[in-house]
Amino acid sequence: MEATSSAKEKMAFLPNHIAIIMDGNGRWAEQHGKSRFEGHVAGVESARSTIRYLNNKYHIKYLTFYGFSTENWARPESEVGGIFRIFEQILDKEAAELHQEGVRLLHLGRLEELPKGLQQVINRALELTRNNTGMTLGFCFNYGGRTEILDAVRHIITEGIPPQDIDEKLFDNYLYTAGSPDVDLLIRTGGELRISNFLVWQAAYSEYYFTDVLWPDFDEEEIEKALLSYKQRQRRFGGL
């Protein structure tokens, strides 16, 4: 069936892949007289509602969240442990719901360095949702963009790939995101104007959207603002 012109427009202006740096949980907690741990709990709620909104209303095909960076190990052990605990406690239930919605989960990052219990729930979630054909939801946990590139290089060398065969397409397939397209829209909440080692390869030509809104406050209205901003961009990819 021929899509209506407004449906066509909607599709053309929507990003195929959105990636989000969920920053500002700690400052949000401070503003509300809560602990940083409670800030991360609120952050998880915000992630849940963002996933639903982008999936149900816009059918975004790829959504990738930055949840814990390779640099976040530098935080106090109690905070790191708290973040892992929150994630470990919600993931089974969350994965079951996402599975119902046809979402396929991906973990991006070094899984083997995470606590065993967390590794197990992540593996269960991946296994449960692996054949789903709806939204692909990437979760970057113990993720670093530079580490990802180094892991790809090691892998390529281990496989003995001849240098002349190494092009961008091949390299792409050795990244944690193998099979996912480049990021179209990269959102960072919390007011910092940097990418903090997130998807350095995949976001080389992304449109960036920075907002001062703290991650737990990032709601439907804020998502609409980001999508509207994206819609107004002119992507040239070096052309005219």
Q: Does 142 bind ligand IPE (CB under 6 A)?
A: no
For Cα atoms 196, 198, 203, give the angle at the middle one, nearest 5 degrees.
120
Supply the DSSP string of 19-73, one letter for each residue: EEE---HHHHHHHTT--HHHHHHHHHHHHHHHHHHHHHTT--SEEEEEEEETTGG
Query: Which residue, 53, 3, 45, 56, is CA-closest to 22?
Result: 45
Q: Does 207 bind Mg ion (CB under 5 A)?
A: no
Residue 165 appears among annotated catalytic residues = no
Using the minimum distance from each CB to ligand IPE, give the nearer residue, 197 or 229: 197
Ranges assigned E (strand) in 73-171: 104-108, 136-143
Q: How far apart are CA 240 and CA 238, in angstroms?
A: 7
| Among residues 18, 19, 23, 141, the one that binds Mg ion under rule CB under 5 A | 23
Q: Give the C-alpha distances (Å, rounded to integers) separating 195 from 18, 90, 182, 200, 205.
A: 14, 27, 15, 8, 13
| Among residues 10, 16, 27, 134, the one that binds ligand IPE under rule CB under 6 A | 27
Binding mask 33-62 for ligand IPE (x = CB under 6 A): ----------x-------------------
Using DSSP, state whether 195 is helix, strand or coil.
coil
Residue 23 appears among annotated catalytic residues = yes
Site for ligand IPE in 196-235 (CB under 6 A): 196
Instruction: Point out the residue whose Cβ comes nearest to Mg ion.
Output: 23
Report the residue count for the chain: 240
Q: How crowded is the C-beta side of 240, counted as CA atoms within 13 Å?
A: 0
For residue 27, the partner it binds in ligand IPE, Mg ion, none, with Cβ less than 5 to 8 A by kind, is ligand IPE
| Among residues 15, 25, 64, 142, the one that binds ligand IPE under rule CB under 6 A | 25
| Among residues 16, 35, 72, 119, the one that binds ligand IPE under rule CB under 6 A | 72
Stretch that binds ligand IPE, among 45-53, 66-74, 112-120, 154-162 (CB under 6 A): 66-74
Q: Does 66 bind ligand IPE (CB under 6 A)?
A: yes
The set of catalytic residues is 23, 72
